[in-house]
């Protein structure tokens, strides 16, 4: 009986220590999966294309705006 009681106390102490100790963050050693990396590259490429299109549109619109502004005599 004494050993059972000691074992119970030991288990309770270990459980309490686990609750009190901060959880370790294992993300430092995490390696991204190939499929996630590939998907990330695809998203980045699509985003770059979209930003390039936006730049082209803004450039064309700004040139048109300036031309119209100059033709009206700067009013």
Domain extents for the chain?
36-61
pTM (two decimals) = 0.43
Q: What's 28's DSSP letter?
A: G
CB atoms within 10 A of CB 48: 10
Q: What's 22's DSSP letter?
A: P
**29/61 Cα distance (integer angstroms):** 48
Task: Convert the pLDDT of each residue in 11-65 to its tens digit.
Answer: 888 877 777 665 555 556 778 788 899 999 999 999 999 999 999 888 888 888 8
């Amino acid at each position: 009986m004494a050993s059972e009681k000691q074992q119970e106390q030991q288990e309770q102490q270990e459980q309490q220590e686990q609750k009190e100790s901060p959880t370790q963050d294992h993300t430092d050693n995490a390696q991204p999966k190939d499929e996630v990396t590939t998907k990330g590259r695809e998203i980045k490429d699509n985003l770059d294309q979209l930003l390039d299109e936006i730049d082209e549109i803004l450039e064309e619109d700004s040139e048109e705006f300036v031309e119209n502004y100059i033709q009206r005599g700067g009013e």
